[in-house]
Structure 1
C-alpha cells in the first residue's frame, strides 16, 4: 500500500514538473495515476460503489470536456487543441477513478480554482499557456498527502 501511494505521488509530481517545464508530459504517467488512484479508491469502497462512482465521474468529465469543446468552437472560434491540451484531458480521465462522486466534484472544482489562482500568482512564464495538468496534479498530490496524514477525514465515502 505504501509503495502504491509513493508511485501515485511521484507520478503526480512528475506531471507537475514536466508540464511547468516543457508543457509536455509523458503519456504513460496518466494510466499510472488512474491505476494507482483507482486501486486506492477500490480498496476503500465496495466493487459496486466503485463502478457506479467511476461511471458518474466519467460522465462529469465528459460533460466538462464537451462544454470546453463547444465553447472553443463557438465562442472562441478556434479548435479545442488551441484551448485545451491532450494532457489536461488525460489527467481529467485518470482522476475520474480517484474519489467518490461528491468528493470528486468538490475537489475537481477546487482544483480548477486552485490552478487558476496559482497561474495568476506565478504568471511570469515564457509560455502563454496554462499548465493545467501540472497544477491539478499538484493540488491532488496535496489532497492525497493531507488525507493520508489525517488532515482530511474522508475522500471515498460521500
Structure 2
C-alpha cells in the first residue's frame, strides 16, 4: 500500500517539477494532492496519531518561521515585494506539503538538502534556462523523487524510522 502511494506521490511530484521547469506555473490542485499523499504516507508509517500530529506541527512551525524570516528580510532589507519576487505561492504551498511528509528529524535533513540541491542545480543550469528565476518547487520535487526512488530500491536508511 505504501509503495503504491509513494509511486503515486512521485508521479505528482514529477508533474510539479515539469510544470515548474517549463512555465514557473503549477496547477493549484497538485499541491493539495501532494499534501494529502505525503501526509497519508507519513501517517501510515507513524505508530501513534499524536506523534504524527506533533511532527507535522513542528514541521509547519519551522516552515512558517522560514517564510516569516524571508518576508521580513525581503520587505525591510531588500525593500522588494515578497510574493513572486523572493518566493512564489507554489513554493510556499510546496514547503507546507513537504512539512506533512516526514518526521521532524528527517524533514529538517531532507528540507535543507532539497534547498541545497535546488541551489546547486540552478547554478549549474542557469545559463541554459529560458526563464531566469529558480524553479524551487520543481527542483525540490525532483529531489524528493530521487529520495523516494532510492528508498523504494534500497530499504536502508528508513525515511520514517525517526
| Residue 9 of structure 1: aligned partner | 10
C-alpha spacing 1:136/1:152, structure 2 compared with 1 (3 Å):
farther
- Residue 50 of structure 2 corresponds to 48
What is the total number of aligned residue pairs between the two structures? Answer: 158
How many Å separate the matches in 2 of 1:131 and 1:144?
20
2-structure distance, mates of 1:156, 1:49 = 12
- Structure-1 residue corresponding to 2:59: 57
Residue 76 (structure 1) aligns with: 78
Once the two structures are superposed, what CA deviation does each residue of 1:96-129 show, in whole Å capped at 9, x if it has no partner?
Answer: 1100001000110000000000000111212121
What is the CA–CA distance in structure 2 between the aligned matches of 1:152 and 1:122, rounded to whole Å?
Answer: 31
C-alpha displacement of 1:3: 3.5
Output the TM-score relative to the length of structure 1. 0.96
Q: 2:105 matched to 1:102?
A: yes
Instruction: State whether structure 2 residue 150 is matched by structure 1 residue 140.
Output: no
Most deviating of 143-152 and 4-13: 143-152
Give the Å deviation of 1:60. 0.4
1: CA distance between counterparts of 2:37 and 2:139?
A: 19
Task: Encode CA deviations 1:21-50: one digit per residue, 9 max, x unaligned.
Answer: 000000111111111111111111121110
- Following superposition, the deviation at residue 151 of structure 1 comes to 5.4
CA shift for structure 1 position 150: 1.6
CA contact (8 A) 1:146 1:152 kept: no
Tell me how large the CA RMSD over aligned residues is: 1.1
Between the aligned partners of 2:18 and 2:56, the Cα distance in structure 1 is 27
2:92 corresponds to 1:89: yes
Using the TM superposition, give the Cα deviation of residue 69 of structure 1 relative to its aligned residue in structure 2, in angstroms.
0.4
Gaps of 5+ in 1: none
1:157 aligns with 2:158: no
